[in-house]
Amino acid sequence: METTLPNIIPNPTTPHDSWAQWYDIIYDIFWGSLLEFKTDETLKVIEAYVQSGLVTDFGCGTGRLSIPLAKKGFSVHAVDQSLGMTEELKRKKDSEGLSSLFLHTNSIADFSGSQGDLSLCVFTVLNYITTEEALNASLKTFAHCTAPGGYLFFDLGDDSFFSPLGFSHKYKKVGEFEREIHFGPTQDGICNRRETGSGILNNQPFQYTDSYPMRYWSPEHVLGLLEILGFVLVIDEFEDLNFGGSSCYLMKKNK
């Protein structure tokens, strides 16, 4: 079946807007079964603690977790600051008739939703936040959107991403598809991540550039701030999930 690409006007200042329409294709090609495994393992963790109710998926992207959670009967509020990503997710939602999936184009800090059973923020989304002010506001959003007795599941990028010298990784070319990621030198915990890619889809060539700052946040710092907001750590070791440059944490809201 031929893939139809939507007409999205990219915003170069918002991560992933410039290649939202190719995002799923690129990740499927270059991550393949590894991404599927990570998705399945994440869903297993979620269902071990939350079997039903309201989930808020922060940094939802194109719905890697929001869609299967909605299909499992959860009410899902999917939040992403990228209009391109949420438009891709809307296309999938409409195609599959997912009435329990609600989309919001917001930053975490600017989102105001209902208290739910689980707040979810994975795929190093918190590392896109580069100021203490925005981090504190985002963590307060987690607290606002998580009911007492509910859970927060999130990850943080490891310090291996944040080198004083920076580094680049060029993926092995797959067919007509190419991808390269460059992390610039880190100063005061912040580096610039730049990704370029190209390929041919439906006999049409495409290319993209995605560039934005990222910041290293130590687990001790983030966990400490969340404890002040009423969360307690449940698990910080996930053998099947702590790979690919990030580590996952599960916390419970006690107040």
% of residues, the chain, pLDDT over 70: 95
Q: Domain check: are 199 and 82 in the same one?
A: no
Mean pLDDT in residue range 180-199: 96
Q: Domain check: are 39 and 68 in the same one?
A: yes
DSSP 87-141: HHHHHHHHHHT-TTEEEE---STT-----EEEEEE-SSGGGG--SHHHHHHHHHH
Mean pLDDT in residue range 35-49: 95
What's this model's pTM, rounded to 2 decimal places?
Answer: 0.92
Q: Domain check: are 99 and 199 in the same one?
A: no
Q: Is residue 34 in a domain?
A: yes
* Count of structural domains within the chain: 2
Q: What is the per-residue pLDDT for 2?
A: 35
Q: Domain check: are 29 and 142 in the same one?
A: yes
Q: Domain check: are 28 and 78 in the same one?
A: yes
Q: Is residue 234 in a domain?
A: yes
pLDDT interval class at 32 (50, 70, 90)? confident
Q: Domain check: are 77 and 176 in the same one?
A: no
pLDDT interval class at 201 (50, 70, 90)? confident
Per residue in 14-29, pLDDT tens? 899 989 999 999 999 9
Domain coverage including residue 135: 17-159+216-253
Q: What is the per-residue pLDDT for 34?
A: 87
Mean pLDDT in residue range 96-110: 97
Per residue in 1-13, pLDDT tens? 333 333 444 445 6
Q: What is the per-residue pLDDT for 5?
A: 36
pLDDT interval class at 243 (50, 70, 90)? confident
Q: What is the CATH number of the domain that holds 62?
A: 3.40.50.150
pLDDT interval class at 242 (50, 70, 90)? confident
Calculated CA dihedral for residues 213, 217, 223, 229, nearest 10 degrees:
-40
Q: What is the per-residue pLDDT for 7?
A: 41
Per residue in 123-135, pLDDT tens? 999 999 999 999 9
Q: Domain check: are 191 and 111 in the same one?
A: no
Q: Can you tell me the distance from the alpha carbon of 73 to that of 60, in angstroms, rounded to the nearest whole number?
A: 17
Mean pLDDT of the chain: 92
Q: What is the per-residue pLDDT for 8?
A: 40
pLDDT interval class at 179 (50, 70, 90)? very high
